[in-house]
Amino acid sequence: MKVLLIAGGWSSEREVSLMGAKFIHKALIDLGHEVVLFDPAKDLKTLPKLVREVDFAFINLHGSPGEDGLIQAMLEQAGCPYQGSGPGPSMIALNKACAKIIFEYNNIPTPAWEFLPIEPEKGWESTLNFPIVVKPNSGGSSVDIKIVEKEDELKLAMENIFEKSQAVLLEEKIDGMEITCGVLGESPLPPLLIEPCSQFFDYYSKYTQGGAKEVCPAPISDELTEKIQDIALKCHRVLGLKGYSRTDFIIRENIPYVLEVNTLPGMTETSLLPQEAKAIGIDFRGLIEKLIELGMEDCNE
């Protein structure tokens, strides 16, 4: 097949996207596909023309565009199959506040939270207990996330996000094990334990060698493993996701609290979801092949 590999984009996660694309490109070539590289940040207007010349699009974008459903919508307009979730579910999953509303409606545990789409008026105070996790409402790779212990730190962390014209999500910090669990097709993968070397699994921990210890399968009880897998699959379904996803958890007192769901997880050979796939015998090349297969099936439904 002739595959359009879409990577780069204009979010703060651009470099992460391009790094993963190198591994995907090699896997696609090894699988015998012809690959055309496309970076939306450089020439978005050529996308409709390019998709008429390919058989499949493989999206490796993080943040917006990509996880917000924009590229998926353009591909669907052109009738081009791609891997992963459609425009609507992608947009909802990327918007952390919207996803949390759906989690709570479906009785899925998630940390207490507040959504601030605009900067609050003078005198505003959070109703949450400190410490508080401050994060952009739409974003990934832990960019601009801060853990704050007091009011003045909270205001500064929020101002940093508002200055970038982004909405703010606040969460009560929960102490516990950091676990992530992927879904491939309609099957949950083995949970993976993350032990960051810093205060939490931040950008440094994720993309610096030795920044975190990652163990897959996670050394936890069968009962907790099943509970995490059930919730990861439930999140995947209630958000209407397709192909694959990865749900991040904090485990406290044997209760898995959902932090967020990733619709386009990191895709280097050592990224979290590929590690989980490898634990059940699917190597990186096999994972790329499976994602293309699932994307083609979704297109033909």
Average pLDDT over residues 263-282: 97
pLDDT of residue 275: 98
Mark whether 246 is an active-site residue.
yes
The Cα–Cα gap between 266 and 105 comes to 28
Mark whether 32 is an active-site residue.
no
Identify whether residues 260 and 131 lie together within a single domain: no
- Which candidate in 207, 252, 269, 289 is catalytic? 207
Identify whether residues 103 and 187 lie together within a single domain: yes
Identify whether residues 225 and 98 lie together within a single domain: yes
Of the three residues 155, 172, 189, the one that is the final residue of a domain is 172
CATH number of the domain bearing residue 56:
3.40.50.20
On the question of pLDDT at 202 being above 60, the answer is no
Identify whether residues 62 and 119 lie together within a single domain: no
Identify whether residues 118 and 52 lie together within a single domain: no
The DSSP line for 163-208 is: TTT--EEEEE---SEEEEEEEETTEEPPPEEEEESSSSS-HHHHHS
pLDDT-derived band at 199 (thresholds 50, 70, 90) equals low
For the segment 79-117, what is each residue's pLDDT rounded down to a tens digit? 999 999 999 999 999 999 999 999 999 999 999 999 999
Mark whether 266 is an active-site residue.
yes
* Distances, alpha carbon 239 to alpha carbons 40, 257, 291, in Å: 26, 16, 19
Chain centroid offset of residue 194 CA: 16
Mark whether 207 is an active-site residue.
yes
CB atoms within 10 A of CB 114: 15
Mark whether 260 is an active-site residue.
yes
pLDDT-derived band at 212 (thresholds 50, 70, 90) equals confident
Count, in order, helices (H) and strands (E) of the chain: 11, 13
Identify whether residues 103 and 212 lie together within a single domain: yes
On the question of pLDDT at 229 being above 90, the answer is yes
- Single out the residue of 65, 116, 112 nearest to residue 91, CA to CA: 65
Q: Is 94 helix (H, G, I), strand (E, B) or coil?
A: helix
pLDDT of residue 204: 46
pLDDT of residue 301: 64
On the question of pLDDT at 58 being above 80, the answer is yes
CATH number of the domain bearing residue 202:
3.30.470.20
Give the end-to-end CA distance of the chain in Å, rounded to a whole number: 20
On the question of pLDDT at 164 being above 90, the answer is no
- Which candidate in 9, 12, 13, 276 is catalytic? 13
Structural domain harbouring 67: 2-83
Mark whether 203 is an active-site residue.
no
Mark whether 262 is an active-site residue.
yes
On the question of pLDDT at 141 being above 70, the answer is no
